[in-house]
Each structure stands twice: as structure tokens, then as C-alpha cells.
Amino acid sequence: MCPSVVQLEMIFVWWERFSSESAAFFLWINQKQKELEAVNIFSSSDPLDKHISAVEAVGEALEERKAVLALMEADCEALSRFVTSGEAGRIRAQLNQTRQYWEELKGRAEQLGVQLNQSASYRQRCNDNLEQVKKAVSDLNEKLDCLITCCVSSLETYKALQDHIEVCQSVELLKPRLMALCSATKRLGEGSQLEKEVANLQKQQRELMEKASEKQSMLESLLALWQRYEKENLSMKSWLDRCESVCCPDTKLLSADKVKLRNELQNVQEMQVETVSHDTLLQGLVNLGLCLYPTAPEARIQELSDDLTQLQERCTSVKNSIIHRIKLLELQLEHLEQFDQALLPLTQWSENFLSLLRSSSQVDIADLEAAFIKLKRPKSSSRHGERTACNPSVNPNVSCCFVKSP
């Protein structure tokens, strides 16, 4: 049965529409393929957001073209009823190829969209890391620029050094993070601006390392100064305490033992010799104090100054006390020598008197009268000698020794 005029007109419309839609669809597919090919997630000067928007726009257009594809399928089915089987097969092949192009373009757009979203997420993480590194660099730079003003002792200086070592470690940890950021910028292909920021941060990190190293050396030197100051200060005070205990005893009484006096005199004389080295030690403490002042608070500076002033006063007082003690001990030894010299005649007289008594005590019982006369005469003479020897006016040396002896 031959088609009617109306049917022929419908077939003509279907055919024209199918041909035009098919040709337009192919052109549109080619255009969108070029748009997707222009999107390069690895190296492009355009922002990543622009690429994401372009791919999303292609995806939306593909969904819109889905209706056109359905209309083409309807036209193909309608034409197949009025054309030869060979022509119908050619039309279906053309439709299938169009559908295949649409599906491939859709798959490519979806794949590219996933890659772009992953890149966007990766870029966001890189930006977050970059901001964190910037903040860390700023914080560490602020800590390193902070002046050292809290060192009041070796213990506090040691604590400050340990805190600074932690800062140094934080500065060192920036290096691998910056290297990772540098690799990320190359992977993202974000352009020269981000690479410049990372390069600038790497330069700042190297400067921070130098600054941290210098400050660590300063703190180590400061710790050594504090340890030396405290050690020498303690040594100085111990020497002063020992000198004061010897030269300024609680009692003013001196020993009458010449051996003890000579030992004490030797000890004090040794202290007098030591004053030279301790004067040098005190001057060294003053110089150390001047080195410690710039890094100590005002209150601690005043304490150090007062302590050094007190040490200087004590040192001056101890030197005077040593001189006075030496004179006192030498005078006491001189008095004891005088006393011993004055005691010698009395000792000799006592020995002679005892010898006389022993010799006079031998009595001959056969002649008692003669023995009585002999005993009576030495007794009177000995009494006179005793009065003479024991009289201070007769022996002035003995009198002087008794008066001066402690």
C-alpha cells in the first residue's frame, strides 16, 4: 500500500528533522569534546574553579541533550516503518553512533569532574597546610625575636634553653612540610604565585634556623656564665665564712698553749696569702655580674649588685681582721715567751732550795746539838732568799709577765 500525501509529508518532516538533529548533535559533541580537552588539571594558568564550572556546564548540557537524543530515537523508529530495511539499518547505525558519542562524552565529563574535585580537595588541603606553615613561621619568628630577660639563675637559664631547643626542633620540622608543599605546587600546577610563596617560606625557614642557632649559642654561653658565677660566688662566701670564724671568734680569750697559737697564726697567715687570689676572684665575680645584667630583670640586677657590694665589704673587713688577728696572736706569743723567760730564775731557785732542804735533812743522831745549830742557820738564810726571790720589786721580769699574761 502506497503512503498517502499526508504520510509522505510526515516522513519528509521526520527525515529532515532527524538529519538536521543528527548533524547538529555531531557538531555539538565535537565542540564539547574540545572544551573538555582544553581542561588540563595538571598545568594551566586558569583557576581550577573555572575548569570545574566548565565541566559541570558540559554535564548539564549533556542532560539537556538527552531529550534531543530521545526525539531522534522516536524519529528513527517512525522512519524505519516507511523505508527499506537497508536504509533503516543505516539510520539506526547513525543513531547508535550518536548515542555512543553522547555516552563517551558523558563518561569523559564525569571522569574529569571527579579528577577536578579531587584536585580541588587536594588544593584546599595544600592551602590549609600553607596557611598553617605561614602561621607557624610567624609564631616562631616572634618567639625567636623575644629578648632574653628572664634569666635569674642557672636553673632558670637551663629551663629557657630547653624551651628554646623545642623551638629549634619546631623550626627544623618546617623543612619537610615546605618540601611537601613545593611538590604539591608542582603537582597542582598552580602557577608561579604559589611557588613564590612556598619559596619565600623556605627562605624564611632557613633564616629562622640561623637565628635559632645564634640564640641557642647565646643561651648556652649564658648558662655557662651563670654556673660559673654561682660556683665562684659560693666559693667566695665559703672562704669569707671560714676567715670570719677564725679571725672573729665568739670569745676574745686567747689560748696559753704556744703550739695552738703557732698553728692558728700559720692558718691566719695562709689566709692572708689567699687574699690576693680571692681579690682576683671577687673582681671576676664583678665582671661576670656585668655580663649577666643585660639578660636579667631589674629586681634580679639589684639583688646581684647588692650581693656583690656586700661581698666587697666583707672582703675588706676580713682583710683588716686578718691583719689584726695576726698582730694579736704574735703579741700573745711574745707575752708567753716573756713569761717563760721570767719563770726560769724562779724555777732554778726552787730547784736549788729543794736541793738544800734535802741535804740539810741528814742529821747525825750521835751529836744532836751540832745538828740543831746546823739546821737553824740554813733555815734563816733560806727564808731570806725566799722573800727576795718572790718579791716583785726584786724581780721585775716576773712581775711584768704575770701582769701581761692572759
pLDDT per residue over 47-58, tens digit each? 677 778 888 888
pLDDT-based confidence at 96, cuts 50/70/90? Answer: confident
Which three-class secondary structure state does DSSP give residue 249? coil
Q: What is the DSSP-derived secondary structure letter of residue 250?
A: S
Burial of 185 (0-12, 13-18, 19+ CB in 10 A): buried
What residues contact 393, with CB distance under 8 A and at least 6 apart?
A: 399
- ∠ CA 189-191-197, nearest 5°, is 110
Residue 352 has pLDDT above 70, yes or no: yes
Is residue 288 within 8 A of residue 236, CB to CB? The reply is no
**Cell numbers at 34, concatenated:** 574540545
pLDDT at 384: 47
Is the per-residue pLDDT at 108 higher than 60? yes
pLDDT of residue 387: 45
Name the residue with cell 660566688: 233
The reported pLDDT for the residue numbered 1 is: 45
Report the pLDDT averaged over residues 66-85: 71
At residue 2, the 3 state secondary structure works out as: coil
Cβ proximity of 218 and 151 under 8 Å: no
Residue holding cell 584546599?
124
Whether 193 shows a pLDDT value over 90: the answer reads no
What confidence tens digit (pLDDT) does each residue in 121-170 have?
888 888 889 999 999 999 999 999 988 888 899 999 999 999 999 999 99
User: What's the average model confidence in pLDDT over 72-78?
Assistant: 72
Output 255 or 265, whichever has higher pLDDT: 265
Q: Which of 4-8, 179-183, 215-219, 374-378 has the lowest mean pLDDT?
A: 374-378
Place of cell 529532515: 16
Neighbours of 2 (CB within 10 A): 5
Q: What is the mean pLDDT of residues 364-391?
A: 54
Q: Which residue has 730564775 as its cell numbers?
A: 345
3-state secondary structure 146-177: CCCCCCCCHHHHHHHHHHHHHHHHHHHHHHHH
Q: What integer pLDDT is reported at residue 240 of this predicted model?
A: 95
Who wins on pLDDT, 181 or 81? 181
| Poorest-pLDDT segment among 342-351, 369-378, 380-389 | 380-389
User: What mean pLDDT do residues 320-341 have?
Assistant: 90
Q: Given the C-alpha cell 542532560, which residue does it identify?
A: 63
Transcribe 253-306 into DSSP letters: ---S-HHHHHHHHHHHHHHHHHHHHHHHHHHHHHHHHHHHGGGS-HHHHHHHHH
End-to-end Cα distance, the chain: 165
Q: 30-40, pLDDT tens digit by residue?
A: 888 888 777 76
As a whole number, mean pLDDT of residues 239-251 equals: 89
Q: Pick 82 or 178 by higher pLDDT.
A: 178
394 has pLDDT over 50: no
What per-residue confidence (pLDDT) applies to 361? Answer: 57
- Specify the pLDDT at position 379: 47
- Report how far residue 123's alpha carbon sits from residue 125's, in angstroms, rounded to the nearest whole number: 5
The rounded percent of the chain whose pLDDT value lies above 90 is: 38
pLDDT score at 14: 67
Our CA angle for 185, 191, 195, nearest 5°, is: 50
Average of pLDDT values for 295-321?
94
Long-range contacts of 131-134 (CB under 8 A, 24+ apart): 133/174, 133/177, 133/178, 133/181, 133/201, 134/201
Say if CB 43 and CB 65 are below 8 A apart: no
Mean pLDDT of the chain: 81
The mean pLDDT of 229-249, rounded to a whole number, is: 93
Burial, 43: exposed, middle or buried (Cβ in 10 Å; 0-12, 13-18, 19+)? exposed
The packing angle between helices 85-145 and 192-247, to 10°, is: 20
Inform me whether the pLDDT recorded for 176 exceeds 90.
yes
386 pLDDT tier (thresholds 50, 70, 90)? very low
Question: Does pLDDT of 221 surpass 60?
Answer: yes
pLDDT band with cut points at 50, 70 and 90 for residue 192: low
